[in-house]
């Protein structure tokens, strides 16, 4: 996993609530056996017509907007456990998703992919969405070590919460496998003493 | 100290706790399928790690598989390659595979309980969000992402934060025509699609207790649709009777020991829950969804809401536009094009029996295409043994071979753009059943009656 420390970029607004993982990456694109290439089909059915031509009114097709942060409505990533949703966002160049609320499995999948799920209040989210729509060049600064999101143009900084262990992992590019494999002797000791082996 | 059911099971599976507050949680059973496992196997190989406990993994091919002519090679090359990859990986790592052609093949959440692999007190995971189904047996069961699939493969453990606890009780007796599916659609419509995020939900109350195991599975299955990490129901005589005698159920002395342990699995009287809700079974009527998330459910005889909070208006109207419905309207009388009876929510033998009992001697409406996809080979064989296949055929329903099918439309079973489908599955997201498809979630009974009437009706007028 890539290390994540700071990010200076602009944001892409997606002001819908309950964006589910079937929209992020529809099931019919889950047939690959590798992790790469899912970005191409990110938001496929919102982004393209059935003939493959881009839908002009979808934000990813709007040349006004670019950047590595997706700013989305609350309860982002609900639905299926497909980690492909996080891979697709990452593959398409996003490194952070800002929302006022993330579905649990998506949050975990994002963290395991190196994509930061950054949770802000409903008020801050509404301000950000409006501000980016008014000025797509608005610079956003995410600083993971200090757990802050800054909007330099406003002179404002908000802090965000993240699990301290997951923060360490993301900042250093570590993942849980290394940690868990190192627990082998404790796991084997546990297996010896557990009661239900039926 | 009084402990809730989820805490009792959780505590029994903590290998150790780490300073930042997470627990290393031991996983008893790991279910895998073809879609979310290939990258996890690759991860192991790339790191040169062995598979830690192959005997605790159970594999099946379900998401991609065709539901016609399963004896022939899969025609679609990408689906075939994913199913082949699973077979290859299972052979390489010594994992038991209930693949195509196996007498026990089926949807991962249908075959686990059928085989007796799902038992009270266990921790179970799968790279699939509806793993919560297994909670019906009083297990802590939840969906995980592919990185976590690799973690369990490498260590049989996950690093997890203990979930918050929610108790949802439904008291009283369900009305005629109201099923487990209506009960859970009702709860989700009350709590909303993100209403239980961060929680493990324990379902309780006399209406829940009186459900069969199959009904309980339907309820727990949809826990994720309100954001819950999982759902569970304390095991009781109904649970034990279901498990007993199944291929992987404990036998003889082990059964007695298991039973003694399982009987300790309930929330202590003074357990503290972080959130509690109580509903009256008499308030629940047959349900249907009108929108594009499972929280958008109403009574069949109800109306699409006419008012929503300003902040939600844009998403709400987008959803209605997709579905072709208006604020405030009734769905009664709307013509339906497809009926899909299947998925890990409602594809078990009781569901097929419900449908058969209703449609016997009737015929589906001419313009409706009615597809029934059993959850497993075992369900299919049972249906044939009971003559359900003939009843369905005479009523114009097509009984297919087992798989996920039009629940997520990864195979050929798709609902065409713009068409309406009453489905017994669990998700009505945009395009879930194929690009542009419009899904209305309902119970198997509602689906059967809709197929016969060809439009949405107040089913209480049509009960046999
Ligand atoms: S039937 Fe549907 S919800 Fe169930 S496991 Fe298959 S795809 Fe997932």
Ligand 1 centroid, distance to A15 Cα (angstroms):
28
Q: If we measure between CA atoms, which residue out of B285, B286, B219, B315 comes closest to residue B422?
A: B286
Ligand 1 centroid, distance to B425 Cα (angstroms):
8
Task: Report chain B residues whose CB lies below 8 A from the CB of A196.
Answer: 28, 121-122, 258, 261
Which of B52, B64, B431 has its CB closest to that of A22? B431
Residues A9 and A12: their CA atoms lie apart, in Å, by 10
For residue A133, the Cα-to-chain-centroid distance in whole angstroms is 20
Contact B342, B405 (CB under 8 A): yes
Residues B137 and B113: their CA atoms lie apart, in Å, by 9
Residues 6+ apart with CB under 8 A from B384: none
Q: What is the predicted pLDDT for the residue at B32?
A: 98
Instruction: Using pLDDT thresholds of 50, 70 and 90, give the confidence band for residue A147.
Output: very high
Query: CA separation (Å) from B366 to B317, B396, B397, B399?
Result: 32, 9, 11, 17
Q: What percent of chain A has pLDDT over 70?
A: 98
**What mean pLDDT do residues A154-160 have?**
95
Tell if the CB–CB gap between A31 and B147 is shorter than 8 Å.
Answer: no
**What mean pLDDT do residues A174-190 have?**
94
Q: What is the predicted pLDDT for the residue at B20?
A: 84
Q: What is the predicted pLDDT for the residue at A198?
A: 61
Tell if the CB–CB gap between B145 and A101 is shorter than 8 Å.
Answer: no
Tell if the CB–CB gap between B154 and A177 is shorter than 8 Å.
Answer: yes
* Ligand 1 binding pocket includes B404 (Cβ within 6 Å): yes
Tell if the CB–CB gap between A18 and B193 is shorter than 8 Å.
Answer: yes
Residues B151 and B145: their CA atoms lie apart, in Å, by 10
Q: What is the predicted pLDDT for the residue at B160?
A: 96
Q: What is the predicted pLDDT for the residue at B311?
A: 86
Residues B277 and A195: their CA atoms lie apart, in Å, by 34
Q: What is the predicted pLDDT for the residue at B464?
A: 76
User: For B184-210, how does the pLDDT look when each residue is reduced to its tens digit (9 = 90+)?
Assistant: 999 999 999 999 999 999 999 999 999
Which of A15, A82, A176 has its CB closest to that of B159? A176
Q: What is the predicted pLDDT for the residue at B1?
A: 86
Q: What is the predicted pLDDT for the residue at A197?
A: 66
* Ligand 1 binding pocket includes B33 (Cβ within 6 Å): no
Task: Report chain A residues whose CB lies below 8 A from the CB of B315.
Answer: 16-18, 73
From B12's Cα to the closest Cα of chain A, the distance in A is 8
Instruction: Pick the atom of ligand 1 nearest to A27's CA.
Output: 7
Task: Report chain B residues whose CB lies below 8 A from the CB of A181.
Answer: 49, 154-155
- Tokens 């300073």 correspond to B19
Q: If we measure between CA atoms, which residue out of A71, A119, A120, A115 comes closest to residue A92?
A: A115
Q: What percent of chain A has pLDDT over 90?
A: 94
From B143's Cα to the closest Cα of chain A, the distance in A is 6
Which of B20, B47, B146 has its CB closest to that of A164? B20
- What is the 8-class DSSP label of residue B166? E
From B38's Cα to the closest Cα of chain A, the distance in A is 5
Structure token pair of residue A99 = 């929302």
Instruction: Pick the atom of ligand 1 nearest to B347's CA.
Output: 1
- Tokens 């016997």 correspond to B360
Task: Report chain A residues whose CB lies below 8 A from the CB of B9.
Answer: none
Prediction ipTM score: 0.95
Residues in chain B, pLDDT under 50: none
């Amino acid at each position: 996993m890539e290390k994540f420390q700071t990010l200076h970029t602009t944001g892409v607004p997606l002001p819908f609530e309950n964006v589910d993982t079937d929209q992020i990456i529809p099931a019919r694109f889950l047939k690959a056996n590798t992790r790469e290439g899912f970005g191409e089909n990110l938001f496929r059915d919102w982004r393209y017509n059935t003939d493959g031509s881009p839908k002009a009114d979808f934000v990813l097709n709007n040349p006004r907007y670019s950047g590595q942060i997706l700013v989305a409505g609350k309860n982002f990533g609900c639905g299926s456990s497909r980690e492909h949703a996080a891979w697709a966002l990452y593959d398409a160049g996003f490194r952070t998703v800002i929302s006022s609320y993330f579905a649990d499995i998506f949050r975990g999948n994002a963290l395991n992919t190196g994509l930061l799920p950054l949770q802000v209040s409903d008020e801050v989210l509404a301000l950000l969405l409006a501000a980016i729509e008014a000025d797509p060049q608005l610079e956003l600064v995410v600083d993971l070590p200090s757990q802050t999101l800054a909007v330099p143009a406003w002179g404002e900084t908000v802090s965000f919460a993240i699990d301290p262990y997951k923060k360490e992992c993301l900042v250093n590019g570590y993942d849980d496998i290394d940690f868990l494999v190192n627990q082998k002797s404790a796991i084997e000791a546990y297996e010896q003493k557990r009661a239900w082996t039926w | 100290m009084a402990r809730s059911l989820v805490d009792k099971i959780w505590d029994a599976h903590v290998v150790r706790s780490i300073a930042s507050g997470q627990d290393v949680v031991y996983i008893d059973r790991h279910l895998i399928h073809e879609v979310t496992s290939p990258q996890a196997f690759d991860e192991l190989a790339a790191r040169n790690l062995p598979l830690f406990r192959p005997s605790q993994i159970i594999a099946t091919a379900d998401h991609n598989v065709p539901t016609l002519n399963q004896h022939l090679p899969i025609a679609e090359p990408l689906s075939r390659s994913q199913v082949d990859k699973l077979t290859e990986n299972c052979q390489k790592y010594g994992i038991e595979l209930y693949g195509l052609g196996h007498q026990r093949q089926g949807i991962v959440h249908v075959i686990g309980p059928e085989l007796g692999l799902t038992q009270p007190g266990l921790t179970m995971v799968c790279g699939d969000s509806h793993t919560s189904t297994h909670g019906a047996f009083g297990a802590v069961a939840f969906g995980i992402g592919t990185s976590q699939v690799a973690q369990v493969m490498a260590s049989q453990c996950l690093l997890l934060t203990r979930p918050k606890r929610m108790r949802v009780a439904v008291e009283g007796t369900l009305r005629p025509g109201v099923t487990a599916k209506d009960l859970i659609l009702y709860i989700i419509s009350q709590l909303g699609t993100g209403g239980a995020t961060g929680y493990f939900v324990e379902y309780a109350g006399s209406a829940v207790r009186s459900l069969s195991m199959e009904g309980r599975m339907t309820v727990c299955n949809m826990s994720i649709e309100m954001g819950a990490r999982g759902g569970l129901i304390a095991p009781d005589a109904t649970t034990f009777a279901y498990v007993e005698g199944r291929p992987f159920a404990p036998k003889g002395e082990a059964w007695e020991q298991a039973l003694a342990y399982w009987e300790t699995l309930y929330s202590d009287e003074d357990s503290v829950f972080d959130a509690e809700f109580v509903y009256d079974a008499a308030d629940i009527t047959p349900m249907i969804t009108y929108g594009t998330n499972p929280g958008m459910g109403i009574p069949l005889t109800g109306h699409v809401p006419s008012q929503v909070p300003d902040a939600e208006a844009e998403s709400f109207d987008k959803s209605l536009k997709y579905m072709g419905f208006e604020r405030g309207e009734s769905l009664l009388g709307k013509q339906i094009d497809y009926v899909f009876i299947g998925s890990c929510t409602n594809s078990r033998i009781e569901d097929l029996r419900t449908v058969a009992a209703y449609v016997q001697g009737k015929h589906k409406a001419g313009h409706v295409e009615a597809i029934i996809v059993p959850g497993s080979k075992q369900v299919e064989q049972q249906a044939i043994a009971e003559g359900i296949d003939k009843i369905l055929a005479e009523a114009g329903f097509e009984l297919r071979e087992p798989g996920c099918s039009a629940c997520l439309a990864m195979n050929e079973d798709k609902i065409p753009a713009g068409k309406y489908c009453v489905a017994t599955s669990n998700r009505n997201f945009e395009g879930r059943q194929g690009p542009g498809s419009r899904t209305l979630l309902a119970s198997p009974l509602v689906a059967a009656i809709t197929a016969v009437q060809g439009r949405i009706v107040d089913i209480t007028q049509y009960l046999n």
